[in-house]
Amino acid sequence: MKKLGSWFVPYLMGLLIMFEGVALVVLAREIELVDVLVMDQMMIMILGAVLIVLGLLLFIPIFPQLQRLSEVLMKRMQVVAAVAVLVIALIFLLIAAPAVVEDIGTYGKNWVVLAAAQLFLLGILAFVFLYYQPLANRRLAWLEWLGMFAACLVITEGIIIFGLRGELNVHGELEAGQIFMIVIGVVLVALGIFEMVIFNRRREGESEKALEMMDWVGLVVSIAIGAVGLFCLTITTSMTLDGSVYSYYWLLIAGMALAVLAPLLNYTQTVVAGREGWHMDIGLITTIILLMAIPFAAAF
């Protein structure tokens, strides 16, 4: 078993995925994604059953009896399950549309995207922490864990923006087409992946040059994430997306999340690096600047 801080995440995600599958089976009813797909009650029950199985595949290796089986087999089983969850979530993000739920009502595209995104978050957390090897220093291991979790949130926000893609009009501030939201979403996903790679590659045995390069890349990536968040805060107002009007808090939440995650990522990677001198100073100064910029951007 791995140290606490890594091993329990895939099991917890599997349990949550299983619960979601049970909810789908119990509450199954016809759902129509307008102009895209109609799923009858049986299809919803099958989807729920699939999620139950995938959740179990992630969760059941925690039992001592199964630990006696091949560790490699258990690991592969969990990886396949996590990837399958990610694929299911991405499919629904690609076909996201307003939903009509039998006997309940109509839900906007944004709620369909958020439902798929939370499933994506469970899948990516399970996948990432299946490969995470915690540092020997417990305090640094938890900071690294926190940083990788933040990177997963950045990726998920990018996925949400990608899923919401459409004709955007931030009232009085910005007008953009579908391509703009796709680019922003893909950029955030790429930046989040860069952060995870930096955390995973920072291990003993790396050359001094490689470590220094990771310091700079991590700094630039966190600043880029913060810049996107701060930009959203400066233009925060109500908006229209594909003809649907959204209150200002949608953009406020999106911007604030990135603006807070950026200094968190910068701080964790700076401390985990454990490098003395100007490397540490620049990292901490940048963290403070990113935090101080939040109220100014929100008030702009």
Instruction: Report pLDDT for 7.
Output: 62
Contact 269, 222 (CB under 8 A): yes
| pLDDT, mean over the chain | 87
Strands (DSSP E) contained in 82-238 are 99-101, 105-107, 168-170, 174-176
In which domain, by residue range, is 71 found? 1-134
Q: Is the pLDDT of residue 218 over 50?
A: yes
Residue-wise pLDDT tens digits, 49-62: 999 999 988 887 66
130 and 172 inside one domain: no
238 and 154 inside one domain: yes
Smallest Cα–Cα separation from 158: which of 193, 200, 198, 209?
193
DSSP state of 3: P
CA distance 190 to 219: 15
CA distance 22 to 42: 14
Greater model confidence, 179 or 243: 179
Instruction: Extract the tokens encoding 272.
Output: 């985990």
165 and 235 inside one domain: yes
Smallest Cα–Cα separation from 149: which of 192, 109, 208?
192
Residue-wise pLDDT tens digits, 242-281: 888 888 889 999 999 999 999 999 999 888 877 777 778 8
Residue 121: pLDDT band with limits 50, 70, 90: very high
Residue for token digits 């454990």? 274
By residue count, the chain amounts to: 300
198 and 296 inside one domain: yes
Number of domains in the chain: 2
Q: pTM for the whole thing?
A: 0.90
What amino acid occupies position 206? E
Residue-wise pLDDT tens digits, 18-48: 999 999 999 888 999 988 889 999 999 999 9
129 and 107 inside one domain: yes
Residue ending a domain, among 74, 104, 134, is 134
Residue ending a domain, among 99, 134, 169, is 134
